[in-house]
Amino acid sequence: MAQSLAKEFTKGLWAELPPFRLVLGLCPVLAVTKTVENGLGMGIATTFVLVFSNLLVSMLRNVIPTKVRIACYIVIIATFVTIVEFLAQAFAYPLFLALGIFIPLIVVNCIVLGRAEAFASKNTPVMAIADGLGIGIGFTLSLGAIGLVREFLGAGTITIWGGTPVFDMTSVFANFQPFGFMIEAPGAFVALGLMLAVMNLIPSK
């Protein structure tokens, strides 16, 4: 039991790492990773939704009729996404402004619906939470990693939290010129593609 629980948790961190191994949920991956902070914020919001929707779907798995299961999952997911939206506005307003439309769009994030359908609806609540946490943390770290590459190259800074950079290239090289392309949308594709290529060099098992 404990062993399979650990397995469900760790698979999301490496073997089934959402953006790199499964290449899923790319919309927020490409759109919000301009800074590490935005990437991490988006990841945490998605993790919250993922854990609670997995828990609820798993608890109700014997109650929800199969024919309307997708509708039920969407109601559950949308409820938690709206809760995240309220909480983000109340406690992290600048992050809410930066993520904008991508918070409500977590509803249609295929990772969340995919875990509900493929995992939570067939497993116990404890397993579902482990799965949600693993996938969510893997997703958060992936977004942070892409954000790190894009922000470091594109702006020469690293912003972890609170809007103030913890590292600034201009303090090391006074005449540093950022590679602005990486901050733009095409730069997101290039960063993701290169990181995918590197990930594929390492075997997943």
Partner 1 sequence: MREMISMVVVLTVLTAVSGGLLAAIKSGTELRIEEQVLKFQKAPAIAQIFTDVSNDPLAERFNVETEGTTLQVFPGKLEDGGTAVAFETKGKGGYGGDVGLMVGINTDNDQIIAVRVTTHSETPGLGARAKDDPSFVSQFADLSLEENLDLKNNNGSIDAMSGATITSQAVCLAAIQAQELYKKLKPEILKQIQ
Binders in 49-68 for partner 1, by CB under 8 A? 60, 63-65, 67-68
**Which of 23, 27, 75, 198 touches partner 1 (CB under 8 A)?**
75
**Which of 23, 86, 170, 194 touches partner 1 (CB under 8 A)?**
86
For the CB of residue 171, give the shortest distance to partner 1 in the complex, in Å.
Answer: 27
For the CB of residue 155, give the shortest distance to partner 1 in the complex, in Å.
Answer: 17
For the CB of residue 16, give the shortest distance to partner 1 in the complex, in Å.
Answer: 28
* Residue 32: exposure state from Cβ atoms within 10 A (0-12, 13-18, ≥19): buried
**Side chain identity at residue 180, one-letter code:** G
Question: Who's near 168: CB < 8 A, 6+ residues apart?
Answer: 156, 157
Q: How many residues bind partner 1 (CB under 8 A)?
A: 24
Q: Check residue 71 for interaction with partner 1 (CB under 8 A).
A: yes
Binders in 87-146 for partner 1, by CB under 8 A? 87, 89-91, 93-94, 97, 100-101
Q: Check residue 70 for interaction with partner 1 (CB under 8 A).
A: no
Q: Check residue 181 for interaction with partner 1 (CB under 8 A).
A: no
**Side chain identity at residue 143, one-letter code:** L
Binding residues for partner 1 (CB under 8 A): 60, 63-65, 67-68, 71-72, 75-76, 78-79, 82-83, 86-87, 89-91, 93-94, 97, 100-101
